[in-house]
Copies of this chain bind each other. A is one copy, B any other.
Amino acid sequence: MGKIEAQGLPGYELALQDAVAGAAGEACPPQLGRALHYAVFPGGARVRPQLCMAVAAANGGGDAALTGAAAAAIELLHCASLVHDDMPCFDNASERRGKPSVHQVFGEQLALLAGDALIVAAFETLGRAAGAGDPARLPALLAVIAEGVGAPHGICAGQAWECEPRVNLERYHRAKTGALFIAATAAGAVVSGGDVAAWRRLGDCIGHSYQVADDILDAAAEASEIGKPTGQDEVHGRPSAVRSLGLDGAVAHLKALVDASVEAVPPCAGREQLQQLVRNQSRRFLPRGLAGQAA
């Protein structure tokens, strides 16, 4: 969604640094501290925290520390889910963000603990920022963020659909991928006093696009381009837009979803700018050779 601050680090990146420095501080077992840092830095595209901050900015902004903390919490939870998803009992992925996955470097025990500690750090970060300012918005912020990661609607539930003999595909995709985008837009609305329900719909649309784009990347990109193994949907027999619609069909579907996302931006002071950001960001979801077709 574009960096919010022209100079220096954006607020979510500072909040991420604070959160990891706190968790991995002097009293921390050294290897766990290193694993926490490794799981969060350097980041991927930081799409979710940027989206959260862009929504807050489009609504005229909120308390800067709480906004940065909300965005950082969402990214910490995303990082935790990547660490746990890569573990041998799930995807057994050896690479993530172009480097060996956390359990490859630190072992399974520390990967499990680092993921747990990142989940805790996310909520701790929210509490600390709200405690330094006005706690009035903290309960709503906790609610929208927890909904995006826990059960029955969040990432944990999304992954758990993979363990079921019969999968509710819509719930599976919305929980596994969409829920954290919904959390990002909803959290941006909560901190800035926006209409949470309207902003949730935008997150749902963007999450849906992202899921389809991820399916396309898995099928059509090079591993070197996305920093993780490709072809995994085929290997694990997972449902995928490419497997359902073919590659061209999936790209056309994505184009329609991006248009829907642009339309779903609610009325707000910064609507046109945010629509442009949504369109630009969507182009970055795709393999380079396909980006022109879809956006």
Query: Which A residues form the contact surface with B (CB < 8 A)?
Result: 22-33, 36, 80, 84, 87, 89-90, 107-110, 112-117, 119-121, 123-124, 126-128, 130-131, 135-136, 138-143, 146-147, 149-154, 156-157, 159-164, 171
Q: Which residues of B contact A119 (CB under 8 A)?
A: 116, 119-120
Q: Which residues of B contact A29 (CB under 8 A)?
A: 151-152, 157, 160-161, 163-164
Q: In the complex where A138-B135, A157-B29 touch, is A109 in contact with B89 (Cβ < 8 A)? A: yes
Contact status A152-B23, CB under 8 Å: yes
Q: Could you tell me the distance between the alpha carbons of A116 and B28 in the complex, rounded to whole angstroms?
A: 21
Closest B residue by C-beta to A129: B139
Closest B residue by C-beta to A127: B142
CB < 8 Å neighbour of A109 from B141, B143, B159: B159
Contact status A153-B116, CB under 8 Å: no
Main secondary structure of the interface of A (DSSP, over half): helix
Contact status B109-A121, CB under 8 Å: no
Contact status B152-A109, CB under 8 Å: no
Q: In the complex where A127-B138, A135-B135, A163-B107 touch, is A156 in contact with B32 (Cβ < 8 A)? A: yes
Q: Which residues of B contact A25 (CB under 8 A)?
A: 152
Contact status A31-B171, CB under 8 Å: no
Q: Which residues of B contact A157 (CB under 8 A)?
A: 27-29, 32, 117
Q: In the complex where A87-B112, A112-B87, A127-B143 touch, is A27 in contact with B138 (Cβ < 8 A)? A: no
Contact status B109-A162, CB under 8 Å: yes
